[in-house]
Structure 1
């Protein structure tokens, strides 16, 4: 499973499909040039094009190619020079890597479909010279063009994370204080599809448009969050909440524990704190009156970083409030701010793989440590 996850995260499958789609376009141009020049004998060059396309260097041992000439029975009676009349071409083109085979099933056999088209195009070599006419080559051109259009729909591009690099960055001194490498939104895996399509939306918005499929939040605490913060005068429920340390009291709540194997943590790039206008951070749980809110990163020293880094608290004390310190982003966090999906075990993968977060440049990590809680009653 870990090999499969690595292949999924590094986008080997998509990169291979993209490579073959581009090479198929080159084959189309080659066939078009023969059709226009009427230099039909040049079609034999397609053998070398295929060998170069599927060489070990280009496909890194992920695919296997075998091309050979097969003798027709009557050739043995009167052997001579090999030509279209006494032999035919045989091509074997298969997926070799096991993890790619599994992903091929997951992706609706897009890769094996591409290979079938390559084999079908190669069959033009088995046509007698006098049968290779303009209409024959045009048929293959149209076939390739149709496949390329479908593959372009499949190989949609990832969200542009370059925007983050061009904007203001969080100070390195603040980054060093973080318990982990980002801020965290906790949700049920059933909500992931909508998040990957629309981004992370505020609590109020997702309930208003009925976009949340499985709510793991505490109803009573959500009622207490339905109040106005004093910095911008917004309702706290109009923000997308992110935890500074996900291993907090929320992780130990009854509703979360009941479905822990299906809980996902979305790791948000920390620069969201300064790149999204009117973003706040708190020195504790936003549902509690005593919690303070800030909008100036120079005041981040107000947070008890030592406690957040240690990740330990005592129930019913101030430490419990502090462990739920938050970053609050108004209204929406775009998908390209999500830098990782973290799950506790492999059991959630079957629900995440088909959503293809890797298309958007979001890898999946299995790490049970994020789901542990360290507290005393």
Structure 2
């Protein structure tokens, strides 16, 4: 018998078409040539990470016993507290990278931000049904609900390096940023450049 929570879980699984990683526009050139690398990336130009959160990612995952910093982090829902924070600091210079969801086959999946003490860890695509997808894809305010805020930052963690062949799209906040990217970079044919404000927070609120 399939219960209500399971139905929501199955619907959520079907919504996972991409895994998302947010970064600064200045990091795009080396991401395209070197791939997406884990923490302490020597090619990174602008670090958008939260230092307080990073301090908690020195712990090891309970599945493979590797430091969280040895993984490349991805979100299922990029419109979360991390993006809110980075938009406040970097504005329209933030871009969201969409990667092929086939990467889930070799990913560690967490039901909350991996740095959260109460996060549960799972291995591979088959564990997606464990996540509460109505909370992961929440579109209303998480203000006053820290558990919801953390659930919206559920992660997929990939070891060390993710090649550009898995990059499907680059999402930016507006046409001006898209034009800047087109003028500065020669994108691979398989990578779409998308200007879509709905992925981001209105700048007046960020």
The TM-score, its normalising length taken from structure 2, stands at 0.86
Q: Deviations over 1:209-256 (max 9, x none)?
A: 2x1111111111111111101100010000000010001111111x43
Determine the structure 2 residue equivalent to 1:317.
146
Verify: 1:335 aligned to 2:164, yes or no.
yes
Larger Rg: 1
Matches within 5 A, 1:223-234: 223-234=55-66
- Can you give the 5+ residue segments of structure 2 that lack an aligned partner in the other structure? 1-9
Determine the structure 2 residue equivalent to 1:213.
45
Verify: 1:195 aligned to 2:26, yes or no.
no
- Can you give the 5+ residue segments of structure 1 that lack an aligned partner in the other structure? 1-171
Cα distance in structure 2, aligned partners of 1:234 and 1:351: 38
Report the secondary structure of 1:310's partner residue.
Answer: coil
Cα RMSD (Å) of the superposition? 1.8
Cα distance in structure 2, aligned partners of 1:299 and 1:188: 31
Determine the structure 1 residue equivalent to 2:101.
270
Cα distance in structure 1, aligned partners of 2:18 and 2:72: 15
CA apart distance, 1:311: 2.9
Q: Go from structure 1 to structure 2 and tell me whether the alpha carbon gap of 1:173 and 1:317 turns closer, same or farther (over 3 Å shift).
A: closer
CA apart distance, 1:177: 3.5
Larger fraction in helix: 1
CA apart distance, 1:317: 2.4
Q: Deviations over 1:61-105 (max 9, x none)?
A: xxxxxxxxxxxxxxxxxxxxxxxxxxxxxxxxxxxxxxxxxxxxx
Moved over 3 A (4+): 172-175
Is this contact kept in 2: 1:182–1:267, CA < 8 A?
yes
229-238 vs 342-351, which deviates more?
A: 342-351
Cα distance in structure 2, aligned partners of 1:301 and 1:284: 14
The count of aligned residue pairs is: 191
Report the secondary structure of 1:259's partner residue.
Answer: helix
Is this contact kept in 1: 2:138–2:152, CA < 8 A?
no
Determine the structure 1 residue equivalent to 2:113.
285
Cα distance in structure 2, aligned partners of 1:296 and 1:331: 16
Verify: 1:356 aligned to 2:186, yes or no.
yes
Report the secondary structure of 1:314's partner residue.
Answer: coil
The TM-score, its normalising length taken from structure 1, stands at 0.48
307-316 vs 243-252, which deviates more?
A: 307-316
Determine the structure 1 residue equivalent to 2:131.
303
Cα distance in structure 2, aligned partners of 1:362 and 1:195: 12
CA apart distance, 1:350: 4.2
Is this contact kept in 1: 2:19–2:74, CA < 8 A?
yes
Determine the structure 1 residue equivalent to 2:87.
256
Report the secondary structure of 1:185's partner residue.
Answer: strand
220-229 vs 343-352, which deviates more?
A: 343-352
Matches within 5 A, 1:1-377: 175-178=13-16, 181-204=17-40, 206=41, 209=42, 211-253=43-85, 255-274=86-105, 277=106, 279-312=107-140, 313-353=142-182, 354-357=184-187, 359-372=188-201
